[in-house]
């Protein structure tokens, strides 16, 4: 019996015109999500787009971290950029990824990242290249004079400079860890910004690469420079790392707090507060300078954390606070020499390149955030922004589910004020 829909109202069967071609059958429906598995599927290639959204931030952070840590303050000329990114990528990129994953998975947010960044700085300066305890570490670099002046703050018994310790740790916190994370997260969609980016396999691979990178520096002649710290010094460094990691994992950072019904200040103010703390760290290689840097950094951190709980606080504030550290480093590049003496032309080209890259990174990040509305003021753990969206659960290896800076220790060498080496800078949010 013919289908009722094929019979006209008169009851006579419908006869197609003689010239009509038989209708082609409709293609079978594609199962949901299959397009993302087919190479080249769809006009915009959703498979590649989806894969790049998951892997892109990981690659960007891996490449940006070593450049920010060792090149953004003028430590290397342009000719050495590729070498720095390739050989120090596992060290700095691996650390930045592991620290970000830990903070985002535990809900510790930026306070946890700051503490873990300080722990990373102590690992690099105290255990890997051991520059913190080797007072001759910079003698064969352009920072030998600055290192000599830092000996005015030597701690008896442990035999390291408090000024260099502050410089190394603050430098790693800002340039090695927090600046790269803040920039890359600003380019990421809000629904993935505060979510993990690595799956179990990605975490294991990243951890192995970081350990291999650290071993390379420890065993290389230009890394540890044939120096070995005393058992007391190594014990102090390891204990400090454990204390910082323990503090980063405290439940208090995940505690829900009532949002303040006060409007957050303009992002510029967040940048100015961190700028003041950053400059205070390098004010003088004396005990007064060390005390001033510690107090200024602590006050800036407390103020930023309180502001972050106000209505209207968003990613622009985060970017302004951490981005100022990169700006200070780029400006300081014109005042600081590179590790190895370079011609005036090569030095100038390197400094201008740093300025252009800094402008492109921060300008592009702020442009990316220009239309983003501030995150709603809900009760969140300190430094943690609201999270939403199905894509937020996608991470690599995990399928979706419903002034001048100084040379750093831990890479090739450390550095601090316009003339002193250091390992990063900034303050926390």
Q: What is the chain's Cα-based Rg?
A: 26
- Helix (H) or strand (E) holding 154, with range, is strand 154-155
Task: Give the pLDDT of residue 336.
Answer: 84
Question: SS in 3 state form for 205-253?
Answer: HHHHHHHHHHHHHHHCCCCCCCCCCCHHHHHHHHHHHHHHHHHHCCHHH
Q: Where are the alpha helices (DSSP H) in 92-155?
A: 94-106, 109-122, 144-150
Least confidently predicted of 71-75, 270-274, 277-281, 405-409: 405-409
Could you give the CA distance from residue 178 to residue 103 in angstroms, rounded to a whole number? 12
Percent residues over pLDDT 90 in the chain: 51
For the segment 285-290, the average pLDDT, to the nearest whole number, is: 90
The residue ranking higher by pLDDT, 396 or 265, is 265
Nearest-10 Cα torsion for 168, 171, 177, 180: -150
Task: Give the pLDDT of residue 394.
Answer: 38
Task: Give the pLDDT of residue 376.
Answer: 56
Task: Give the pLDDT of residue 152.
Answer: 87
Average pLDDT value for the chain: 79
3-state SS, residue 119: helix
For the segment 361-375, the average pLDDT, to the nearest whole number, is: 85
pLDDT at 245 over 80: yes
Question: How sure is the predictor about 51, in pLDDT bands with cuts at 50, 70 and 90?
Answer: confident
Pairing of strands 310-311, 260-263: parallel
For the segment 35-62, the average pLDDT, to the nearest whole number, is: 64
Task: Give the pLDDT of residue 191.
Answer: 87
For the segment 116-142, the average pLDDT, to the nearest whole number, is: 88
Highest mean pLDDT among 27-41, 55-69, 254-268: 55-69
- 2's CB contacts (< 8 A; 6+ apart) are 13
Least confidently predicted of 74-83, 321-330, 409-418: 409-418
pLDDT at 42 over 60: no
For the segment 191-200, the average pLDDT, to the nearest whole number, is: 92
Task: Give the pLDDT of residue 375.
Answer: 60
For the segment 196-213, the average pLDDT, to the nearest whole number, is: 94
Pairing of strands 310-311, 154-155: unpaired
Task: Give the pLDDT of residue 50.
Answer: 72
DSSP 313: -
Question: How sure is the predictor about 254, in pLDDT bands with cuts at 50, 70 and 90?
Answer: low
Give the C-alpha distances (Å, rounded to integers) separating 67 from 19, 76, 164, 394.
69, 9, 21, 27
Q: What predicted TM-score, i.e. pTM, was given to this entire model?
A: 0.77
Task: Give the pLDDT of residue 195.
Answer: 92
For the segment 81-107, the average pLDDT, to the nearest whole number, is: 94
pLDDT at 188 over 80: yes
For the segment 368-390, the average pLDDT, to the nearest whole number, is: 55
For the segment 135-151, the average pLDDT, to the nearest whole number, is: 78
Give the C-alpha distances (Å, rounded to integers) separating 107 from 102, 195, 264, 310, 319.
8, 10, 22, 19, 19
pLDDT at 40 over 60: no
pLDDT at 251 over 80: yes
């Amino acid at each position: 019996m013919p289908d009722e829909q094929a019979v006209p109202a008169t009851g006579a069967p419908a006869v197609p015109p003689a010239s009509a071609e038989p209708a082609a059958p409709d293609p079978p429906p594609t199962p949901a999500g299959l397009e993302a598995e087919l190479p080249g599927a769809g006009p915009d290639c959703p498979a590649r787009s989806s894969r790049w959204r998951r892997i892109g931030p990981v690659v960007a952070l891996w490449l940006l971290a070593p450049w920010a840590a060792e090149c953004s303050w003028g430590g290397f000329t342009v000719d050495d950029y590729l070498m720095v990114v390739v050989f120090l990528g596992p060290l700095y990129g691996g650390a930045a990824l592991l620290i970000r994953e830990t903070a985002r998975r535990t809900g510790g947010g930026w306070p946890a990242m700051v503490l873990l960044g300080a722990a990373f700085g102590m690992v690099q300066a105290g255990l890997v290249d051991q520059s913190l305890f080797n007072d001759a570490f910079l003698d064969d670099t352009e920072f030998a004079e600055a290192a000599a002046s830092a000996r005015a703050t030597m701690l008896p018994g442990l035999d390291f400079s408090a000024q260099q310790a502050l410089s190394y740790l603050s430098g790693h916190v800002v340039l090695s860890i927090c600046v790269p994370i803040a920039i890359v997260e600003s380019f990421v969609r809000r629904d993935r910004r505060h979510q993990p980016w690595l799956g179990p396999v990605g975490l294991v691979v990243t951890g192995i690469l970081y350990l291999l990178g650290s071993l390379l520096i420890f065993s290389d002649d230009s890394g540890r420079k044939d120096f070995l710290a005393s058992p007391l010094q190594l014990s102090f460094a390891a204990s400090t790392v454990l204390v910082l990691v323990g503090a980063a994992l405290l439940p208090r950072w995940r505690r829900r707090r009532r949002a303040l019904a006060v409007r957050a200040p303009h992002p510029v103010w967040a940048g100015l507060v961190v700028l003041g703390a950053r400059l205070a760290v390098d004010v003088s290689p004396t005990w007064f300078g060390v005390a001033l840097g510690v107090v200024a950094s602590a006050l800036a951190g407390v103020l930023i954390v309180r502001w972050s709980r106000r209505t209207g606080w968003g990613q622009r504030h985060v970017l302004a606070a951490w981005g100022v550290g990169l700006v200070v480093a780029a400006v300081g590049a014109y005042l600081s020499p590179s590790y190895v003496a370079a011609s005036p032309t090569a030095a100038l080209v390197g400094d201008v390149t740093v300025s252009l890259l800094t402008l492109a990174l921060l300008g592009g990040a702020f442009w990316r955030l220009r239309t983003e509305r501030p995150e709603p003021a809900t009760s969140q753990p300190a430094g943690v922004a609201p999270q939403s969206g199905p894509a937020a659960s996608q991470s690599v290896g995990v399928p979706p589910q419903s002034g001048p800076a100084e040379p750093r220790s831990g890479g090739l060498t450390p550095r601090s004020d316009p003339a002193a080496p250091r390992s990063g800078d900034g303050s926390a949010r």
